[in-house]
Amino acid sequence: MPWTEDGKYIKRSELMNLNIPDLDIEDFEPDLDAVKDEVIDAASGAMVYGIIGTGQGGGRIAKAFYDLGYHKTVAVNTAKADLALLELPDNHKLHIDTFTDQGAGKDQERGKQAVEEKSQEVFNKLREIFGERIDRILVCAGTAGGTGGGSVTTLVGIAKRYFTYVGKEDANNRVGVVASLPTDGECASPTVAKNAYTRVTDLCDKAKKGEFAPLILVDNQKIKKLYPSLTVKQFWPTLNNTIAGLFHVFNALATQNSNYTTFDPADYDSIMRAKGCMIMGVTNVKNFEEETALSMALKQNLEKTLLAEGFNLRTAKAAASIVVGGSTLFEEVAGLMDSIEYGFDTLGTMTGGATVHRGIYEDEKKQSLVAYTIVGGLDSPTKRIEGLKKFLRSSDDVYGE
């Protein structure tokens, strides 16, 4: 029985009268499914990414990420036909219907205004697809397009606002941009050349200021020159799958332990946060018995990258080189460790003494030695931007401006 301190008996009616108010919410059962992510990331990387593809070019890149398991992907476009052709689930597509079905027609101001007017709809779609478990967002766009080029900076702003919504700090360091540059043939159009030059200049300036990180520039013209044997049907899938695949390699390897040298999530994060541009590359190392084999491969790695050229590597702030080799190579090739170390040192020299993270991984399925390279915090690719500007001068001469 309950008693008071002075030994008096407390009646049960007095004991239960606590004067606690009833709450309306007690009448409802919580929907626990509502607080779970609608979409599960299947990429299994060190970081969970949300991918936003805007315009036709950006949508193609986003689709390549989706195919690798980055299922927190949203494609945005003002052209309904472009979205219809994109092989993504319908709920991952958002048609900005400002211009009905016609799109922005290479007019970047129209593309910008359309997405700005529908910014809440974009935000709501991110909530639906991304959920709360997300570490970074990549905005993918073509710099020459009306919707993509016009909306990319607006979408960066929405993405940063989204991180505030889910309670993540350092939004500037969590949002990056993948932007593709047009071919020389496309730049024969004055509108395309002007769009690309204006947009890439603006993006490089914002990246340098640290308004987002990183900026990855995909160079379609360079790819045409390096791989002339690609057919029309192969060109876009090969390009986009390689870019998404390269990106995924580093995110995936950062989750793997190594018996030799591990490239860990903190290493990866430091490169992704570096202000400025970022490039990536991959190459098979031939004649790996030679001490300078990997060193030469790393140089070629950065020259053969599908990304823009004209970077001054000595402006880099952070980099990583990851070597993956077969078990037999690691067991039987004498002096291979010296070759690998020399290659790492060479990358440090090439990048002006930037912090170079290292990784050495054994893969029993491989019969060769493969080197992956990532360099972040680079200044703008001056040479490539000047190449775009050349088309502006040419168009002025033609049209007498």
Sequence-separated (6 or more) residues with CB below 8 Å from residue 239: 218, 220, 223, 306
Determine the pLDDT at residue 272. 96
Determine the pLDDT at residue 113. 93
Walk across the sheet containing 215-219 and list its strands. Answer: 93-95, 73-77, 49-54, 136-142, 175-181, 215-219, 277-285, 369-378, 318-325, 355-362
Separation between Cα atoms, residue 44 and residue 310, nearest integer Å: 33
For residue range 325-374, list pLDDT tens digits in order.
988 888 888 888 988 998 899 899 989 989 999 999 998 888 889 899 99
Per the CB < 8 A criterion, the answer to whether 178 and 216 are in contact is yes
Separation between Cα atoms, residue 120 and residue 139, nearest integer Å: 17
Which backbone phi and psi does 74 adopt, to 5 degrees? -130, 130
> HSE of 163 in the Cβ direction (CA atoms, 13 Å)?
23
What confidence tier does 15 reach under pLDDT thresholds 50, 70, 90?
A: very low
Per the CB < 8 A criterion, the answer to whether 211 and 174 are in contact is no
Average pLDDT score, the chain? 86
> HSE of 3 in the Cβ direction (CA atoms, 13 Å)?
5
Separation between Cα atoms, residue 120 and residue 117, nearest integer Å: 8
Any idea which of 311-320, 330-339, 370-379 has the lowest mean pLDDT?
Answer: 330-339
The DSSP line for 246-315 is: HHHHHHHHTT---SSB---HHHHHHHHTSSSEEEEEEEEEPSTTSTTHHHHHHHHHHHS-SB-----GGG
For the chain, list the domains and their CATH numbers.
Answer: 35-251 (3.40.50.1440), 277-378 (3.30.1330.20)
272 alpha-carbon distance from chain centroid: 9
Which residue has better confidence, 205 or 186? 205
Determine the pLDDT at residue 378. 95
User: What average pLDDT score do residues 149-161 get?
Assistant: 97
Determine the pLDDT at residue 51. 98
* Percent with pLDDT over 70 in the chain: 85
Helices (H), 68-118: 80-85, 108-117
pLDDT beyond 80 at 80 = yes
pLDDT beyond 70 at 197 = yes
**Cα–Cα distances in angstroms (integers) from residue 336 to residues 30, 170, 290, 342, 380, in the given order:** 60, 41, 8, 10, 35
What does the chain come to in residues? 401
Cβ burial 170-192 (10 Å sphere, 16+ → b, else e)? ebbbbbbbbbbbbbeebbebbeb
Which residue has better confidence, 36 or 249? 249
What confidence tier does 163 reach under pLDDT thresholds 50, 70, 90?
A: very high
* Percent with pLDDT over 90 in the chain: 52
pLDDT beyond 80 at 58 = yes
